[in-house]
Structure 1
Amino acid sequence: MRKAIGIVVLAAIAAAGAGWVLTAPKRLPEARFTGMTGDPAAGERVFTAAGCASCHHAPDASGEDKLVLSGGQRFASDYGTFVAPNISPDPENGIGDWGLADFANAVMRGVSPSGQHLYPAFPYTAYAHMRDKDVVDLWAYLLTLPASETPSPPHEVGFPFNIRRGVGAWKLLYMSDDWVMSDVPDAQLERGRYLVEALAHCGECHTPRDGLGGLDTSAWLTGAPNPNGRGSIPGLTPDRLDWDAGSIAYYLESGFTPDYDSAGGHMVAVVENFAKLDPADREAVAAYLKALPAGGAMD
């Protein structure tokens, strides 16, 4: 009996050890960005497409104050309320004392400079597809923005979701280098995929989630409940959004639908960002959405 108990205990210890190793934060290779120099002007375009200010400016900020990334906006979910942190260049309360590698690991791997898993309310599962040059350019641009001394408020997340190591297990299930739309036959669709699946992270709101909070990519962009519990977010697949490509591109520029309605909620910020991009980018997004299969399933 003692031998059997000993075997069980050893097996439990081995399983716990394996789980600890498997859920450890996985950083990018140390030398990946060595020698790369960012272009702030190009980084501004990445910043706009990625909607960084939309989440990280202070609540109710307007105009130029939206470039002060002091954080504080609250995002309710089934797992608690996440609060956007200060990502301004302030060295004490923002990210001004980070290096490029720290920033890249946060954006592309969801790992903080101290080695903690970041919560996936920060859409690093989408940003994981970003091109290295875009990450470097974005970092260069962020360093040109105003610093804010506002401390980052803590997230309001209870047990067991406040156990950061559990996010490592979540990443094993949902972090992937694979694109949802694997076949892009031309440059326009490739650009559209990059904007939708990576920079603009459209799937984060427009795709339903499973019981563990991961995106159900078999129903990609088919719509989802609003995380704050009020209403739903519409689907973007052709069977749910029957606008032609020109109407989609115009909506992303103006916020007006073919029925003369206008964007509301968080889409106001999305349109505000897309309106600043090149027309070709809006057309690429429209082409991507029109190329989606009905029902969202890619296979």
Structure 2
Amino acid sequence: MRRRGLALVLAGVVAVLAAGGYSLLRPVRLDATAIAPEGSGDAARGERLFWAGGCVSCHASEATDRPVLSGGAPLVTPFGTFHGPNISPDPEHGIGRWTLADFANALQRGVDPEGRNLYPAFPYTSYARMTPGDVADLHAFLKTLPPSTADAPPNDLPFPFNLRIALGLWKALFLHPEPVATLAADVPEPVRRGRYLVEGPGHCGECHTPRTLGGAGGLDLSRWLAGGPAPEGDGRIPNITPGGPTADWSEDDLVTYFETGFTPEFDSVGGSMVEVQHNLARLQKDDLAAIAAYLKVVPPIPDAADAK
């Protein structure tokens, strides 16, 4: 009887652990109250967010006024090769049949309509900070772009990175929708707008902040925007806090750089920042000024030793 009782206890413990493990690994969707009403988005406002979010860089081969979002260049990383999928409004090959709820859950929780976890090469950890209205506006704009019947290649990831189930635990550890930088109560509104653009749709921290767990984890928020290894594994993304190489740049210098790609020293933008700058140049000047204002108030962090 004792053995039978012990077996029952052990079975109960295993069941509890299994249930707890499943709760950590399962895809978690947004609460319905966190999603704007279907059809409420405004495409004109959504275009602004489209360029702020840099969608074209991963999902199109060319940044035209009406890009075809059939998938862009492969992202080759130390963990494998990722391919941005077709997000054009084609109903079969793109996201034409996605509801706003489908879109919001993919964009802000990394869960596709079939309930699968998406890889964080798609920066949903930043998009999670977007407002429901802005998500609806972006969705509305995407529906106005040309449809494409092209299919992007599947991701090419070795074991164990090809196991999507582990992404549930990754998100439990690293998906945090609250703002990163704490701002004073009396900070000017443009700084708050800049924080939203940088930390949310602009997802600047995804490249300009180092990651934990040897690059496989979430962002190291103690070194927010302080630069880190390039996602492709070759080179380094610069420190953009007031403690880095842009420390002497004024807000106007930053805005000029966003608009033209030229630094105060008359050098020009290079590397992966070229596409980012082209996207930023399409924003309104007040958005660029807000981004610059925010970048001048984030905590200054000296460059890491390995960056010098």
Could you say whether these structures have the same fold, taking a TM-score greater than 0.5 normalized by the shorter chain as the test? yes
Contact 2:194 2:292 in 1 (8 A): yes
Matching residue of 1:15: 17
Taking the aligned partners of 2:71 and 2:78, their CA distance within structure 1 comes to 21
Matching residue of 2:238: 234
Taking the aligned partners of 1:52 and 1:176, their CA distance within structure 2 comes to 21
Contact 2:38 2:100 in 1 (8 A): no
Contact 1:225 1:233 in 2 (8 A): yes
Matching residue of 1:134: 134
- Counterpart residue identity of residue 288, structure 1: Y
Which of residues 190, 193, 197 in structure 1 aligns to 2:199?
197
Q: Structure 1 segments of 4 or more deviating over 3 A?
A: 1-10
Task: Give the C-alpha shift of residue 285 in structure 1.
Answer: 0.9
Matching residue of 1:278: 284
Taking the aligned partners of 1:5 and 1:223, their CA distance within structure 2 comes to 53
Task: Give the C-alpha shift of residue 207 in structure 1.
Answer: 0.2
Q: Does 1:145 align with 2:145?
A: yes
Matching residue of 1:123: 123
Matching residue of 1:37: 40
Deviations 1:76-120 (A, max 9, x none): 222211111000011111101111110111011111000011111
Deviations 1:103-146 (A, max 9, x none): 11101111100001111110001000111111111111111100
Task: Give the C-alpha shift of residue 35 in structure 1.
Answer: 5.3
User: TM-score w.r.t. structure 2 length?
Assistant: 0.90
Give secondary structure in 2 for the equivalent of 1:67. coil
Give secondary structure in 2 for the equivalent of 1:76. strand
Taking the aligned partners of 2:96 and 2:123, their CA distance within structure 1 comes to 21
Contact 2:57 2:72 in 1 (8 A): no
Q: Summarize the alignment of residues 51-62 of structure 1 with structure 2, pairs less than 5 Å apart.
A: 51-58=54-61, 61=62
Task: Give the C-alpha shift of residue 12 in structure 1.
Answer: 3.4
User: Over aligned residue pairs, what C-alpha RMSD do you find?
Assistant: 1.8
Query: % of aligned pairs identical?
Result: 48
Task: Give the C-alpha shift of residue 54 in structure 1.
Answer: 1.4
Which of residues 235, 255, 258 in structure 2 aligns to 1:249?
255
Task: Give the C-alpha shift of residue 7 in structure 1.
Answer: 4.5
Taking the aligned partners of 1:86 and 1:217, their CA distance within structure 2 comes to 31
Q: Which stretch has the larger CA shift, 25-34 or 266-275? A: 25-34
- Counterpart residue identity of residue 135, structure 1: V
Give secondary structure in 1 for the equivalent of 2:179. coil
Taking the aligned partners of 2:276 and 2:252, their CA distance within structure 1 comes to 18
Q: Summarize the alignment of residues 69-218 of structure 1 with structure 2, pairs less than 5 Å apart.
A: 69-184=69-184, 185-211=187-213, 212-218=216-222
User: TM-score w.r.t. structure 1 length?
Assistant: 0.92
Taking the aligned partners of 1:14 and 1:161, their CA distance within structure 2 comes to 27
Contact 2:108 2:128 in 1 (8 A): yes
Q: Which runs of 5+ in 1 are unaligned?
A: none
- Counterpart residue identity of residue 27, structure 1: R
Contact 2:57 2:63 in 1 (8 A): no
Q: Which stretch has the larger CA shift, 16-25 or 208-217? A: 16-25
Task: Give the C-alpha shift of residue 183 in structure 1.
Answer: 1.6
Contact 1:255 1:262 in 2 (8 A): yes
Taking the aligned partners of 1:132 and 1:199, their CA distance within structure 2 comes to 12
